[in-house]
Amino acid sequence: MWIRVSKRIVPKGYSGITLFPFIFLRSEELKDDKVIINHEKIHIRQQLELLFVFFLLIYGIDYLIKLIKYKDRKKAYRNIVFEREAYANQYDLKYLKNRKLFAYWR
């Protein structure tokens, strides 16, 4: 896993984007933010589990489904299965140690 800082890759309003094996952050200071790093590490695990391509596929499809459901982009994004898991557990810094496989389906 590698951490890079790039304002070009990470859009305004977001702290980071994870594209296995990279975690892209919007600014240098975010490297010290344990919660954000934990959030992105949860995405690394999800991407590994789904061999990356299936993660992207499900991420995109789930976003569209939630967009139709909520008619609100931010709300749709926050309710993508992978984001739900990451946001719900980002404050638990030991979460990944005990995480079960495919935890987002549970």
Binding site for Zn ion (CB under 5 A): 83, 86
Do 76 and 67 form a contact (C-beta atoms < 8 A)?
A: yes
> To 5 degrees, how large is the angle CA 92–CA 13–CA 37?
30
> Nearest approach, Cβ of 67 to Zn ion (angstroms)?
16
> Nearest approach, Cβ of 57 to Zn ion (angstroms)?
16
Nearer to Zn ion, 5 or 81 (CB): 81
> Nearest approach, Cβ of 88 to Zn ion (angstroms)?
11
CA dist., res. 11 & res. 17, Å (int):
9
